[in-house]
Amino acid sequence: MKVTVIGAGLAGVEAAWALAQRGAQVDLYEMKPVQYSPAHKYTGYAELICSNSLKAKRVGSAAGLMKEEMRRLGSLCMEAALETEVPAGGALAVDREKFSDYITEKIENHPNITVIHERVDKIPEEGYVIIASGPLTEEHLAAEIGKLCGEKYLSFFDAAAPIVTFDSIDKEKVFFAARYGRGDDDYINCPMNKEEYEAFHEALVNAEAVELHTFEKQEFKVYEGCMPVEVMAKRGADTLRFGPLKPVGLTDPRTGHRPWAVVQLRSENNQGTLYNLVGFQTNLKFPEQKRVFGMIPGLANAEFIRYGVMHRNTFLNSPKLLDNTFCLKQDRRIYFAGQMTGVEGYMESAASGILAAQNLWLAAKGEEPLVLPADTMLGALARYISDESISDFQPMGANMGILPPLDTRIRDKAQRYELIANRALESLQAYLDSRK
């Protein structure tokens, strides 16, 4: 069997490796060094751009659990990370050049992998394909993906609001309601009086933002749909009150009056375990988001499982296009992997490459797909990117909030996460054993 893999980033190398290890002949296309994206500089594969940290090592954390699941699935990136690790406390950090070199050598020396250094402008019309071209997909290929999937299902900017866990919201300071009573208490409302709003506004307009790359600045100038909330706030003291924080149609049941301003939170998933801050796409630094958004009534102790982001990021509206095997519903010979699928983060991208490749291999052999249990981190991520009930899809990284809760409520978070992680690994192992 022959497979074309487009892109030698984290997802692409994992996909190529998983297929080659099973006996497939893989043509791996990588446009470096012929052409580089605006963010890439190094000639090696699986280049780490922003940070050399792969997040927490501890299995009782979302990132640590995910990496252990990847290791059990034969991850090349995990093998490379453990070989090139540098001291970083509780995090798994790597020497980024040695990490890339290790993977590059493994890929180039595999007898079943042929690396082709050229830009791909067309999606192959025959044979199995995994598209893992990354968040900075070159414009010619992006246009082809747009034709394949439909332009309305392809985004070029990750303009996402923060997401918090339901359990961490102070229910004594919020109320549940939809505007004018439309809906079934669909929103969590965080009411502000005049003093609270003015203090919040002052902190917001003076908070420190992330510096965008030059190419991102140029593109955001013409992108009208993602104005950061802090930029909107600078247009005037009342701009937010007549925008995303407008209180019209809402009455605080504790006072019987309309609040001065209201921050609304909307459910992010069917389970109601995650809520996003409506209209709060932001470019503030993460600690600033924690500080400033913590001033919102009810969110003082909120657990942010994803901070707001605004950057150049090509990604699909995956719930409309992909199933939980990362296969394109309308063309079963094409799979997607990496950040383009809506997973957020280095190792999440790599993990999607493993799942896409193994599922492609199984599909080609006529065998049942690899659908990991919902209580595993990778199983939950695969379900998230294919959940058709999500109306406003945004990329998501590994977090405990997408996993089903324990049957027994455990107050201590560290203990609770440890139990959830142990359950996930037991479930994963039982599932893998059943497939042998």
pLDDT value of residue 406: 93
End-to-end CA distance of the chain: 22
pLDDT value of residue 213: 57
> Among 105-109, 180-184, 287-291, 425-429, which is the least confidently predicted range?
180-184
234-238 average pLDDT score: 93
pLDDT value of residue 368: 96
364-388 average pLDDT score: 97
Max CA pair span of the chain: 72
Q: In CATH, what number does 163-307 get? A: 2.40.30
pLDDT digits (tens, 9 = 90+) for 6-58: 999 999 999 999 999 999 999 999 999 999 887 778 899 999 886 788 999 99
Chain position carrying tokens 């997040």:
55
CA 140 to chain centre: 24
* Type and span of the H or E element at 204: helix 194-205
- Strand-pairing partners, residue 396, are 343
pLDDT digits (tens, 9 = 90+) for 291-325: 999 999 999 999 998 898 776 678 899 999 999 99
Chain position carrying tokens 């990132």:
63
pLDDT value of residue 385: 96
pLDDT digits (tens, 9 = 90+) for 199-227: 999 999 999 988 765 545 544 543 444 57
405 upstream amide cis, omega within 30 of 0? no
Sheet holding 334-336, edge to edge: 113-116, 25-29, 2-6, 128-131, 334-336
pLDDT value of residue 212: 63
pLDDT value of residue 224: 44
What mean pLDDT value characterizes the chain? 91
pLDDT value of residue 320: 95
CA distance 388 to 324: 11
Indicate if 163-307 has the same CATH topology as 2-160+311-434: no
Superfamily per CATH, domain 2-160+311-434: FAD/NAD(P)-binding domain (3.50.50.60)
pLDDT tops 80 at residue 403: yes
Q: Enter the tokens of residue 97.
A: 């050049």
pLDDT digits (tens, 9 = 90+) for 246-295: 999 999 999 999 999 999 998 877 678 889 898 898 889 999 999 999 99
Domain boundaries, the chain: 2-160+311-434, 163-307
Residue bearing the bigger pLDDT, 204 or 96? 204
pLDDT value of residue 179: 81
CA distance 375 to 370: 14
pLDDT value of residue 223: 41
Distances (CA, A) of 129 to 155, 187, 258: 21, 41, 55
Q: Enter the tokens of residue 227.
A: 């104005």
Contacts of 34 (CB under 8 A, 6+ apart): 117, 118, 119
Q: How many CA atoms lie within 13 A of 257 on its CB side?
A: 6
